[in-house]
Amino acid sequence: MRLSRYFLPVLKETPAEAQIASHRLMLRAGMIKQASAGIYSWLPLGLKVLRNIERIVNEEQERAGHVPLLMPTLQGADLWRESGRYDAYGEEMLRIKDRQGREMLYGPTNEEMITDIFRSYVSSYKDLPLTLYHIQWKFRDEMRPRFGVMRGREFLMKDGYNFDLDYEAAMVAYDRHMVSYLRTYERMGLQAIPMRADSGPIGGEDTHEFLVLAETGESEVFYDSAILDLKLADRAVDYDDAAQLASIRSEWTTPYARTDETHDEGVFAEVPEERRRTSRGIEVGQIFYFGTKYSEPLGAMVANEKGERVPVHMGSHGIGVSRLLGAIIEASHDDKGIIWPEGVTPFHVGIVNLRQGDAACDAACAEIEAQVAAKGLEPLYDDRDERAGAKFATMDLIGLPWRITVGPRGIAAGKVELTSRRTGESEEMTVEEAVTRLAAIYAGH
Ligand SMILES: Nc1ncnc2c1ncn2[C@@H]1O[C@H](COP(=O)(O)OP(=O)(O)O)[C@@H](O)[C@H]1O
Ligand SMILES: [Mg+2]
């Protein structure tokens, strides 16, 4: 992509309405535009990151054996009457009437609809375990939408639902979700800590929220700093090995980590004092086991091995896909702009031509573009006729982790400069060396 042909409406001024860094930076970097309160258009740069996050979520869900489908955003009210939630859900649900006067709603979540799909087709334990998920827009009429995509009214969520024969099998599904979520966040360059949570309006017995530490987070969190040392890294995970999944779950849930809703001073006091931390966090996901809460009222039954019809045990598991953009930026930025982790960056490398129109510089940039693309990477080439300072400022703002700078003096010596956005360090090297280095950096992503 060449910047002269792209649509990247960066803002010079800091928008007054944005109170936190991620919201300010997403507006300034031309990633989103507010359409109405808590509802956003995703401009090209924002959409690229959103799609990358979706891709990682999909890959990790499919790796765990979970099956994607797609349910609609609009739902009929009747299913929600069956579960008893149509009246219980309250003002956050956007209710709509179609021209026939039928009551509809814009889905805030999909437990009822997925349970209806399940009961329509599955009737035997032999078809279990089954976990279905989708990535779909949700609407919740939040009282105070704020912080941009962090607390929107319309937002993109991955929500998955497991169907299992009994409690033990549902716990294996719980562990699978825990592990797949840990992998998902790690690939995005995030440390998200599973914290014991309250079951809230969905209702459940076992639930963890995943929180990214950030001063601007909405939840107060209390944790044992030992949990910060835990990494899956390249550990081999076998999703058919229930014992391994359970041991990873217990590794991550043994150190104290709770939000203000479940915090217990007495238990916290047992953590060695030098490891006790209080901070704030952003909830980027949550997993729930809720047993037969929906399968009973909706009649999602299967025949067990003895031929008895029993309600399936279920759980629901969500990742805040659009919120993750905000969370990643809160965790990774500086005063010049965003610093994308390699796993989600909208372009792999920025190319800055310091002397646009100079034959040697232009040719070198075109050559880099071609070589980078040949490695399967996507460059963003700033080919505008702008001052060097302005080009650097744009690249720093939009946060591509790597930049190749091409100038007349370097080119005369056969060299370009490769710069890390994170450290600011630059190194001179040939075009071939720079491209080889980039390919190696991105090989793991
Ligand atoms: N209003 C919102 N805007 C953006 N993301 C949201 C919003 N509400 C929830 N999410 C994301 O979706 C995930 C799953 O939602 P859920 O746990 O059902 O929501 P909540 O915690 O608000 O009850 C949350 O962990 C969060 O990351
Ligand atoms: Mg939640």
CA 367 to chain centroid: 34
Contact 153, 142 (CB under 8 A): yes
pLDDT tens digits for range 197-244: 876 655 445 899 999 999 999 999 999 999 999 999 989 999 999 999
Q: Identity (one letter) of the amino acid at 364?
A: A
Element (H, E) at 181: helix 167-187
DSSP state of 146: B
Q: What is the pLDDT of residue 16?
A: 87
Listed in sequence order, the residues at least 6 apart from 302 whose beta carbon sits closer than 8 Å to its beta carbon are 122, 123, 124, 125, 127, 128, 165, 309, 310, 312
Domains present along the chain, CATH in parentheses: 3-337 (3.30.930.10), 347-442 (3.40.50.800)
Most distant CA atoms of the chain, gap in Å: 81
Q: What is the pLDDT of residue 15?
A: 87
Ligand minimally distant from the alpha carbon of residue 317: 1
Contact 64, 58 (CB under 8 A): no
**What residues does 116 pair with on adjacent strands?**
none
What is 385-411 written as a DSSP string?
A: S--HHHHHHHHHHHT-SEEEEE-HHHH
Picking from 138, 129, 156, the residue whose alpha carbon sits closest to that of residue 66 is 129
Q: What is the pLDDT of residue 444?
A: 81
pLDDT tens digits for range 282-291: 999 999 999 9
Contact 343, 186 (CB under 8 A): no
Q: Report CA torsion sign: 25, 28, 29, 30.
A: positive
Report which protein residue has its CA nearest ligand 1's atom 26. 320
The interaxial angle of helices 431-442 and 359-374, nearest 10 deg, is 30
CA of 158 to the centre of ligand 2 (A): 12
CA of 89 to the centre of ligand 1 (A): 15
Pocket of ligand 1 (CB under 6 A): 109, 140, 142, 151-152, 155, 157, 200, 283-286, 318, 320, 322-323
Ligand minimally distant from the alpha carbon of residue 158: 1
- Residue 41: exposure state from Cβ atoms within 10 A (0-12, 13-18, ≥19): exposed
DSSP state of 30: T
Q: What is the pLDDT of residue 205?
A: 55
pTM of the predicted model as reported, rounded to 2 decimal places: 0.97
Among 202, 206, 323, which residue has the most ligand 1 atoms within 8 Å of its CB, making it the best to mutate?
323
Contact 52, 343 (CB under 8 A): yes
**What residues does 138 pair with on adjacent strands?**
155
Q: What is the pLDDT of residue 14?
A: 85
Ligand minimally distant from the alpha carbon of residue 89: 1
pLDDT tens digits for range 300-350: 999 999 999 999 999 999 999 999 999 999 999 999 999 999 999 999 999
**How far are the Cα atoms of 3, 279, 316 from residue 132, in angstroms, in the given order?**
40, 34, 10
Element (H, E) at 361: helix 359-374
Report which protein residue has its CA nearest ligand 1's atom 2. 151
Please state the φ and ψ torsions of residue 203, each to the nearest 5 degrees.
85, 120
Residues of the chain with pLDDT under 70: 199-205
Find the Cα–Cα–Cα–Cα dihedral 151, 154, 160, 161, rounded to 10°: 100
